[in-house]
Amino acid sequence: MAIYKDKIIIVDLEATCWEGFKAPPGQTNEIIEVGVCLLDAKTYEISDKRGLLVKPTESIISPFCTQLTTITPELVAHDGMDFFAACTILEQDYDSRNRLWVSWGAFDRRMFFEQCKRRNVRYPFNDKHANLKKVFQIHYGERKGLPFAFEQVGLKMEGTHHRGVDDAYNIARLLSLMMQEKGAIVLKKYGL
């Protein structure tokens, strides 16, 4: 499948979670925020930074989750949308079915796929996904968490770690630096 090569979509999810990371009986991990932005594949400039809050329907936002992400049940109740609406925004505003998308690790891809399947919602992406954690390992020698990768390349993270909107922006900053240092070759195997 050919994709547009003008922009790369950067995505970071936050999901309901609990201390010990095991869902209590009757609850399922689900997406509560989709952080997204675009990286220009030629200029490496970042644009369209956005956080889409998603109302959970299969679980609650635990105090542990709020402590980790700063996302409260009240915030999502006030500013959130349903999952279908978030997927629609990705397709319509970011043309997600026709562009390479990137996340830090495989969690985001798996969560999207599983939640779309459970909810019978069209998967908003194509099969062109780059796991930037693996790409970083290939080009910088170690597989690390995002804060440690930033430390290794001499960048400082901005915003709140574990907020999708800020993490997506930071991932885009890291990818921008990688492409400036190594060239577009870092994403060549993903069709860019």
Residues 6+ apart with CB under 8 A from 150: 156, 157, 170, 174
Going by C-alpha positions, the residue among 132, 123, 116, 143 that lies closest to residue 167 is 132
Please state, in angstroms and rounded to a whole number, the distance separating the CA atoms of residues 31 and 116.
10
Reading the block at residue 173, the tokens are 């900053």
Please state, in angstroms and rounded to a whole number, the distance separating the CA atoms of residues 12 and 183.
23
For residue 155, which amino acid is it?
L
CATH superfamily of 4-190: Ribonuclease H-like superfamily/Ribonuclease H (3.30.420.10)
Q: Give me the pLDDT at residue 1, please.
A: 65
Q: Give me the pLDDT at residue 150, please.
A: 95
Q: Give me the pLDDT at residue 142, please.
A: 78
Residue written as tokens 């062109």? 128
Counting Cα atoms < 13 Å in the Cβ hemisphere of 76 gives 27
Please state, in angstroms and rounded to a whole number, the distance separating the CA atoms of residues 105 and 122.
22
CB 129 within 8 A of CB 36: no
Q: What is the largest CA-CA distance in the chain?
A: 48
Reading the block at residue 154, the tokens are 């001499």
**DSSP class per residue in 146-170:** HHHHHHHHT----S-TT-HHHHHHH
Q: Give me the pLDDT at residue 192, please.
A: 75
Spell out the per-residue pLDDT of the chain, length 192, in tens.
678 999 999 999 999 999 988 899 999 999 999 999 999 999 999 999 999 999 999 999 999 999 999 999 999 999 999 999 999 999 999 999 999 999 999 999 999 999 999 999 999 999 999 999 999 999 898 777 999 999 999 999 999 999 999 999 999 999 999 999 998 889 988 877
Reading the block at residue 108, the tokens are 């985001």
Q: Give me the pLDDT at residue 185, please.
A: 85
* Domain ranges (residues) in the chain: 4-190
